[in-house]
């Protein structure tokens, strides 16, 4: 931890563009915000970490895990970028946001009452990925990988809380390309196009198969929504450690089927 040093940095970039925007918005400023989380703003809950790793505080592995957690916290620089974007058109299976069309029935239904959305990408960056990968043995490698996952997850939560507070959003939800068959991973391309030059902004690029590099990155659209929504409600994957809500096998039929 860097003593007495920073919480997080926020940069807001104003970009004047006419790309893909309707006439009414051509030439208007587009706000892209970049956030950098380091030091005190990186949180690792040791109790939660030990639970995930199934290691008890009295285990001989505990001290080593704590050391790894401290080392990760020292080098972690998590970067996030988002922009404020506007829904311009909605079809039965599609939504057009700032001139870019996404194809998904679930996204279209979930954005039915929404006109302002927040597309984002968050990454742990190359430094942490390299640190985790370079651990000397398989067990430490696994611990370091889990710590990196936790840093990403916790920072994503902090990011959403800050975004909601900043924009006065009371109830929000997220959708992520690739998490549902209805919104496949290939929709990462329009998402990245919507945000802008994500690689130049925070160093995340897409492979040909639309995976993000660095791998410990997350992307999606954050939006205001009354009531609860988790992609997991429509995802049948069994034993997923990331599950946030139970699978509802009737939900698609009841709520999203045309």
Residues near ligand SF4 (CB under 6 A): 179, 231-232, 235, 237, 240, 242-243
Phi, psi of 100 (to 5 degrees): -115, 130
Q: How many residues does the chain have?
A: 258
Identify which of residues 33 and 179 has a Cβ nearer to ligand SF4 in the complex: 179
List Cα–Cα distances, 79 to 42, 47, 108, 178, 219, in angstroms: 11, 25, 28, 21, 12
What is the C-alpha separation between 204 and 38, in angstroms, rounded? 18
Q: How far is the CB of 173 from ligand SF4 (least distance, A)?
A: 13
Cα–Cα dist 110/225, whole Å = 8
Q: Supply the minimum distance, in Å, between the C-beta of residue 190 and ligand SF4.
A: 20
Q: Considering beta carbons, is residue 81 or 235 the nearer one to ligand SF4?
A: 235
| Pick 61 or 243: Cβ nearer ligand SF4 | 243
Residue 240 C-beta: closest distance to ligand SF4, Å: 3
Shorter beta-carbon distance to ligand SF4: residue 227 or 241 = 241
**CA nearest neighbour of 101 among 27, 212, 208, 187:** 187
Q: How far apart are CA 108 and CA 105, in angstroms?
A: 5
Nearest distance from C-beta of residue 1 to ligand SF4, angstroms:
30
Q: Which two tokens stand for residue 163?
A: 């975004």
Question: Shortest gap between Cβ of 241 and ligand SF4 (angstroms)?
Answer: 8
Residues 6+ apart with CB under 8 A from 62: 50, 55, 56
Which one, 123 or 179, has the nearer CB to ligand SF4?
Answer: 179
């Amino acid at each position: 931890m860097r003593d007495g040093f920073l919480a997080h940095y926020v940069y807001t970039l104003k970009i004047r563009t006419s790309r893909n925007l309707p006439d009414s918005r051509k030439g208007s400023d587009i706000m892209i915000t970049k956030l950098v989380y380091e030091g005190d703003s990186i949180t690792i809950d040791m109790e939660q970490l030990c639970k995930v790793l199934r290691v008890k505080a009295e285990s001989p592995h505990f001290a080593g895990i704590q050391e790894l957690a401290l080392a990760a916290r020292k080098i972690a620089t998590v970067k996030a970028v988002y922009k404020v974007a506007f829904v311009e058109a909605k079809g039965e299976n599609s939504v057009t946001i700032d001139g870019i069309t996404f194809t998904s029935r679930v996204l279209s239904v979930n954005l039915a009452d929404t006109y302002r959305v927040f597309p984002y990408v968050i990454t742990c960056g190359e430094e942490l990925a390299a640190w985790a990968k370079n651990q000397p043995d398989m067990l430490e490698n696994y611990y370091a990988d889990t710590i990196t996952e936790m840093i990403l997850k916790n920072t994503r939560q902090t990011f959403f809380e800050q975004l909601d507070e900043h924009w006065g959003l009371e109830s929000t939800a997220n959708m992520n390309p690739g998490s549902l068959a209805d919104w496949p991973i290939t929709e990462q391309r329009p998402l990245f196009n919507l945000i802008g030059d994500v690689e130049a902004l925070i160093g995340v690029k897409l492979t040909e198969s639309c995976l993000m590099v660095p791998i410990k990155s997350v992307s999606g659209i954050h939006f205001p929504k009354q009531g609860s929504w988790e992609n997991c409600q429509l995802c049948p994957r069994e034993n997923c450690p990331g599950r946030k809500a139970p699978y509802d096998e009737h939900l698609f039929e009841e709520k999203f089927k045309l």
